[in-house]
A = this chain, B = another copy of it.
Amino acid sequence: MKILSLNEFEFSRRGQALVGQEMFKVLERARELEREGKEILHLELGNPRLRPPDVIIEETVRILQERDVGYTFSAGVPALRRAIAKHYSQKNDVSLSLEDVVISPANFIINQFLDIVCNRDDRVVFFTPAFPTYWAGASYIGLDVVSVELDKNIQYRLTKKNVDDAIAAKPKAILVNSANNPTGAVYDEEVLLYLAQQCENEKIWLLSDETYGEVVYEKDFFSLMTIKAPHVVVMSSFSKMFSIPGYRIGFAICDPIMVEKLSLSISTQISCLPAFTQYGCEKGLAEIDEYSKSVRRRFQIRTELCARLLESCKVLSCEVPDSGFYVFVDISKTGLKDVDFCQRLLEEKLTAVTPGSSFGPQYTDYIRIAACLDQEHIKQGVDRIKELAESLTSI
């Protein structure tokens, strides 16, 4: 058999759209440097690195030791669906039951939501800067993304004007993300309700990504679960909530018809998720309030430290976030674009951060710092970022 080269075989349009992202190229290069023996400061991934609640690990281990390693329900194990419904019913003063909840990796919910409601070339709106997975999913499916830019001067909070602009674009779906990655902004109840209402009026699907909802420091967090409208899909993840991103367990709360669509999508593509990780998360829910309190406290200290240290640097600027793990930094005065800045930071200062353009093609004047290391290492990392930034402008 003669061996042809692969480029004589055609990929689909989706297959062609799968190309490496800049964010991962940084990570890839960081790993290369590590293999060469260099020590890299990782300020790029939102990997919380806290000790997860012990009950989660213990329960997962217990189920594994019972050898419960068979197939389970595509929609998720009923005990976990019920526990999520109960927790959020109480928290948001709404009546949820098992039928309103589906278990899935959060990234997969984003992608499947887009695939289930949008055809190729359909339009979607992201409020930007926006989480890279939205861009990756839209690019893979072949969607027409309209970016509605949030105003930095009001700390990237969503406004009614932003909502009107989004609706005016006549999209099939809108993605909204409060508490926000990368800006840390938390949106007002009034504006979120206005968004949901306008979407309903115009028959637009709405995905509310509330992954960081449990990591809002001091402000009130408003969840769109509260309104229980059939066109609104609310999603979140245990990855950040319980510091277990490796579990790959998240969930959506939505109309039972959409729960069924998402379950069928899981059944078609993955069959189901492991039962043992789901039972672990179920046990964790009993401790969520206490655990989140410590996560919030820790990340508030870290992101504020990060922002305060950056303040003293004349060529960098950022907002103090209201939530989450991240600080979004304006590097425009350094004269370097994001990818070049990140590359030089990695090569010269052995520090990895995420290029701003991962959050939208127009954000080449920004980088995102993930404050997931301890204070000492964050301080060291920010010092290196400042050193590079200042060296660039002193020439």
A271-B265 Cα distance, complex, nearest whole Å: 17
Stretch touching chain B among A6-14, A180-188, A383-391: A6-14
> In the complex, which of the residues B6, B49, B67 contacts A57, with contact meaning CB atoms closer than 8 Å?
B67
Asked whether, in the complex, the Cβ of A265 is within 8 Å of the Cβ of B18, the reply is yes
CB neighbours of A118 from chain B (8 A): 12
A296 CB, nearest partner CB in chain B, Å: 20
CB neighbours of A228 from chain B (8 A): 3
Stretch touching chain B among A90-98, A242-250, A316-324, A336-344: A242-250
A51-B117 Cα distance, complex, nearest whole Å: 41
Asked whether, in the complex, the Cβ of A108 is within 8 Å of the Cβ of B269, the reply is yes
A11-B111 Cα distance, complex, nearest whole Å: 14
Size of the chain A interface, CB-CB below 8 angstroms: 85
Asked whether, in the complex, the Cβ of B51 is within 8 Å of the Cβ of A67, the reply is yes
CB neighbours of A119 from chain B (8 A): 12-14
CB neighbours of A64 from chain B (8 A): 57, 60-61, 64
> In the complex, which of the residues B61, B261, B272 contacts A11, with contact meaning CB atoms closer than 8 Å?
B261
A321 CB, nearest partner CB in chain B, Å: 21
Asked whether, in the complex, the Cβ of B229 is within 8 Å of the Cβ of A117, the reply is no
> Is A155 interfacial (CB 8 A cutoff)?
no
Stretch touching chain B among A196-204, A211-219, A357-365: A196-204
CB neighbours of A260 from chain B (8 A): 20
A9-B122 Cα distance, complex, nearest whole Å: 14
Please name the residue on chain B nearest to A114 by beta carbon.
B12
Please name the residue on chain B nearest to A246 by beta carbon.
B69
CB neighbours of A60 from chain B (8 A): 64
Stretch touching chain B among A132-140, A158-166, A285-293, A304-312: A132-140
Stretch touching chain B among A81-89, A144-152, A273-281, A326-334: A273-281
Asked whether, in the complex, the Cβ of B57 is within 8 Å of the Cβ of A71, the reply is no
> Is A153 interfacial (CB 8 A cutoff)?
no
Asked whether, in the complex, the Cβ of B52 is within 8 Å of the Cβ of A69, the reply is yes
> Is A394 interfacial (CB 8 A cutoff)?
no
**Copies of this chain, tallied across the complex:** 2
Contact with B along A1-27 (1 / 0, CB 8 A): 111111011111111001110001000
Asked whether, in the complex, the Cβ of A264 is within 8 Å of the Cβ of B19, the reply is yes
Asked whether, in the complex, the Cβ of A246 is within 8 Å of the Cβ of B70, the reply is yes
Please name the residue on chain B nearest to A20 by beta carbon.
B264
Please name the residue on chain B nearest to A72 by beta carbon.
B246
Asked whether, in the complex, the Cβ of B69 is within 8 Å of the Cβ of A4, the reply is no
Asked whether, in the complex, the Cβ of A133 is within 8 Å of the Cβ of B268, the reply is yes
A272-B133 Cα distance, complex, nearest whole Å: 13
> Is A313 interfacial (CB 8 A cutoff)?
no
Which residues 221-272 in A have Cβ within 8 Å of B in the complex? Answer: 227-231, 243-248, 255, 257-258, 260-261, 264-265, 267-272
A52-B274 Cα distance, complex, nearest whole Å: 15
Asked whether, in the complex, the Cβ of A11 is within 8 Å of the Cβ of B116, the reply is yes
> Is A32 interfacial (CB 8 A cutoff)?
no
CB neighbours of A40 from chain B (8 A): none
CB neighbours of A34 from chain B (8 A): none
18 pairs across A/B with beta carbons < 8 Å?
Answer: A4-B203, A4-B231, A8-B203, A9-B205, A11-B117, A12-B116, A12-B117, A12-B122, A18-B261, A18-B265, A18-B268, A47-B70, A52-B67, A72-B246, A105-B271, A111-B269, A246-B276, A274-B277
